[in-house]
Amino acid sequence: MSSHGIRDRVAIVGMGCTPFGEHWGRSADDLLVDAVGEAVTSAGITLDDIDAFWLGTQASGVSGLTLSRPLHLPYKPVTRLENMCATGSEALRNACYAVASGAYDVAMAVGVEKLKDSGMSGLSGTSMPGAGDDSRGEITAPANFSLLAPAYAAKYGLAEEELKDVITRIAWKNHVNGARNPRAQFRKEVPLERIRSAPIVAGMLGVFDCSGVSDGSAAAIVVRAEDAYRYTDKPIFVKALSFVAGPADGLLDPDYDFTTFPEVVVSAQEAYRQAGITDPRAELALAEVHDCFTPTELVLMEDLGFSARGQAWKDVTSGAFDLDGALPVNPDGGLKAFGHPIGASGLRMTFEAWIQLRGEAPPERTVASVAEGRTLALTHNLGGGPGECVSFVSVVGSELTD
Amino acid sequence: MPGLIAYGAYVPYHRLARADIAATLGTAPSRGTRAVAGYDEDTTSMAVEAARSALARDGLRTRIGQLFLATAAPAYLDKTNATAVHAALGLDPHVLAADMAGSVRSGLGALVTAARSPVPTLAVLSDLRTGLPGGGEESAGGDGAAAFAFGGHRNGAPVLAELLAHDTVSDEILDRWRLPGAPASRVWEERFAEEIYVSLADKALSAALDQAGLDRDAIDHLIVSGLHARACATVRRTSGVRPEAATADLTAQIGNAGTAQPGLLLADVLDRAEPGRIIALVVLGDGAGVLLLRTTDALPAHRAARPVAAQIAAGGAPMPYATYLSWRGLLDREPPRRPDPEPPYAPPAHRRNSWKYGFVASRCEKCGTRHLPPDRVCVSCRSVDAMTDEPMEHVPGTVATFTVDRLAHTPSPPMLVVVVDYDGGGRFRCQLTDATEADAVIGARVEMTFRRTVTAAGVHNYFWKARPLRTGETEGTGA
């Protein structure tokens, strides 16, 4: 028994992505209609051509009816799924497997989340009866991820102020990128000093260290690789799909030190194996990673193998992950500039890979690495928190591997 | 001769300076401080802390045959509060746990009932005195708890103070009263009850001394407790005992904890009394009661691990009066823009009683790994259903990492959260209480404490938090 991967067996031939933001005037249904419509148009097909659907949403609806109702899909298979903050990526993964298996010719993955109807700050989540009464459920998401900061600083000998500079730069970088993206929730650069001095939310994290709360939807159309050029001359081939749910031992086991996500390490290594990548920092044209909070992106640079252990803070500081750096990370602005409509985020990352690898990003946001001949992009999506999380890594590419 | 076999007291960490009340409300200046229960404490949680302290020595918990919780501020009506204490202590299911709740005199009632019971009995006295802003109850009151186990002599659990005699006098009198639900108690003109109480105290003290064949000169420590301060002071001064025998009432430091006050004062005397000394505990209120105790040679080696005086000394810097008001629900502050906290749900809470109330984790029989909360599958060796109970309430730990959550819904923001690595293994993430942000640092030493974490939808949620292990306090002894 082993994992085989489906490298180059399926391709993405159409995508849609709504602007992310506070869509007071638009419902989850509206966002779905828009994202699905854009994807179908980009592939040059109609909804009737799609054989099966995978809908990812954490809490904006239950069952396949959440998609079939607004689109009035006629008797199609629609699966609604949820896998915490990796929900959107999970929809893509399942749609890809459905096509690779031969069960369907054309599948759609779509993700949506409507967060801004709750009236609450941050994510309010869903609760099972009694889930929080032994105090494990009470911590908020920023507080949960802020646990990384003091642990990382202590392990690598950084003063708190030094680490604050590092995470400030991550937020600054993603806002610089988002300012160049018409779909982003936040489209202004934010000065370093404003980020650094923003009101504190949890631990070391200020308001600008946290991703925003927004509404959005994104969709992808998946077909067999050999059919891909019937839909587009620039398909994006799926090289690797890797997903793990951790054993949830980090909050039990004193050996876990809060400076890594072991789930990310495992899922990244598996993705690189499937895709045949040996040096991700040199081979990838870009990476879209789950920057829910700035310390998360810092730790991910090491877990994904972009930086050596204990070195990511230096690489961040030197600009290695800037738009014009050695490996652009979150060139679309990331969760930081897009907010995090949970079911949509994973597919929003894939959308950035789609336009960058196809050379369709606006000039002010185009990564130089594609013109230099790199053809691979990585997306990384995680749900949960330090100590217990689920992690997804995909690699997609604009060319078939020989 | 049977008598007291264990005792322990609990003085909450927080203090309110009476001068701050006066400064805020423009009332007459007043000196000293009172003890204030944390926003996450009530009479039940304080009772658990006092009882844990009393029964910290090995073998004591299994000896207890019945448990009475006395309080004038019960956390619940209809539902028994003593069962939460019973669950937190992990007592045998057949142990009777019942409340003596409602009146301040129930503290005396529980002590006397325990003292003269043929069954080894734990009496826990707990109270939380609030009153209205600017009132005497707020200023003179205090919060706290004390626990006393009475029984016969056993090897390993000797009698620390013999019960020589006791007497009670009951009197129907409108001195202090409160209708159910009323925010503050009311009192009749102070001078009315003073003479009556002085007379009743004399009657009870005489009867108890007669039973014991002692005269007043024999008393080495006279404790007078009650909410009628003038009557208590008069009894202390005029009862005919040696002047040096009268003990201070601690109200300048921690206020008067009503139902729990006789317990706190008795514990304080037991913390320092030498062997062979006679203690007279006089309690006034709706009559009078007297317990005459003689300390034994076993007392010095078996005193409570946390003396009352040390707990008073370890109290925090006085809190702002506005914080006190908001903790007591007298100042309704804007809640965060977050969902209301969830109440506990009855079935999952009941399934996990030993974890939730007792902080009993599990330990893998195959590889020894501790699991907090208890699991069926070992996180280390994956063995299934090979677990034994692992009590953790007494195990101190070290902070591995931490955060300060300013977004979380808590009655006293911000919420301090720590990841605790326990001595001997095991990890748990929980709140840090009785602490400031400066206490949340990697490497800080902490211990566990039983708290009411939140009250939501009319249901109290009881669970454990970490608190700083403060210098000068003894690390928890084995349970």
A222 and A187 in one domain?
no
Backbone angles phi, psi at B466, to 5 degrees: -90, 155
* Cβ atoms of A240 and A259 closer than 8 Å: no
Note whether A135 contacts B379, CB cutoff 8 Å: no
CATH of the domain at A280: 3.40.47.10
B83-87, B265-269, B469-473, range with the lowest pLDDT: B469-473
- Residue B17 has which token pair? 């300076």
Return the percentage of chain B with pLDDT > 70, whole number: 98
pLDDT one-digit tens code per residue, B148-166: 999 998 888 899 999 999 9
pLDDT of residue B46: 98
> Where in the sequence is the domain holding A77, given as residue range(s)?
10-118+215-230
Whether A226 and A170 map to the same domain: the answer is no
The DSSP annotation for A172-211 comes to HHHHHHHTT-TT-S--S---HHHHHTSPEEETTEEGGGB-
pLDDT at A380: 98
User: Which CATH class for the B3-327 domain?
Assistant: alpha beta
Q: Are A159 and A89 contained in the same domain?
A: no
Chain B, nearest residue to A250 by Cα: B427
Residues A161 and A112 placed together within one structural domain of the fold: no
Contact B429 A251 (CB under 8 A): yes
| Within a domain: A135 | no
Cβ of A130 within 8 Å of Cβ of B407? The answer is: no
Count: domains in chain A: 2
Q: Are residues A221 and A333 in the same domain?
A: no
Whether A259 is covered by a domain: the verdict is: yes
Instruction: Give the residue numbers in A contacting B (CB under 8 Å), as ranges.
Output: 118-122, 124, 127, 129-140, 142-144, 146-148, 150-151, 154, 200-203, 247-249, 251-254, 256-258, 387
| B382 interaction partners in chain A (CB closer than 8 Å) | none
Determine the Cα angle at B404 with ends B398 and B406, to 5°: 160
Conformation bin of residue B106: beta by default, left when phi > 0, alpha when psi is -120 to 50: alpha
> In the structure, what pLDDT confidence band is assigned to residue A1 with cuts at 50, 70 and 90?
low
Assess whether A4 carries a catalytic annotation.
no
Q: Which amino acid is at B2?
A: P
In a domain, A339, yes or no: yes
Q: Establish if A123 belongs to a structural domain.
A: no
Please indicate, yes or no, whether residues A190 and A336 belong to a single structural domain of this protein: yes
Residues A35 and A69 in one domain: yes
Rounded CA-CA distance B266/B286 in Å is 20
Do A244 and A193 belong to one domain?
yes
Q: Establish if A91 belongs to a structural domain.
A: yes
C-alpha torsion sign, points A329, A330, A333, A337 = negative
Q: Best of A116, A124, A134 to disrupt the B interface by mutation (most B CBs within 10 Å)? A: A134
For residue range A56-96, list pLDDT tens digits in order: 999 999 999 999 999 999 999 999 999 999 999 999 999 99
| Test the B interface: residue of A167, A211, A249, A252 with most B CBs within 10 Å | A252
Query: Is the residue at A101 inside a domain?
Result: yes
The confidence score (pLDDT) of residue B410 equals 85
pTM above 0.90, yes or no: yes
Residues A97 and A174 in one domain: no
Q: Is the domain covering B354-468 a CATH 2.40.50.840 domain?
A: yes
Chain B residues near residue A150 by CB distance under 8 angstroms: 401-403, 442
| Active site annotation includes A389 | no
Nearest 5 degrees, angle CA B142-CA B143-CA B148? Answer: 120
Q: What is the pLDDT of residues A179-214, one digit of tens each?
A: 999 999 999 999 999 999 999 999 999 999 999 999
Answer yes or no: do A54 and A175 share one domain: no
Q: Where do the H-state alpha helices sit in A60-147? A: 65-71, 87-100, 141-146
Domain assignments of chain B as residue spans, ordered by start: 3-327, 354-468
B397-405/B445-456 β-pairing: antiparallel
Of B336, B347, B417, nearest to A143 by CB-CB distance is B417
Q: Is the same domain home to A74 and A168?
A: no
Residue B236 to residue B198: CA distance in whole angstroms: 10
Contacts of B373 in chain A (CB under 8 A): 134, 136
Please write the tens of the pLDDT for every residue from B323-360.
Answer: 999 999 999 988 877 777 888 889 989 999 999 999 99
Catalytic residue among A17, A23, A85, A175: A85
* A90 within a domain of the structure (yes/no): yes
Residue A127 lies in a domain: no
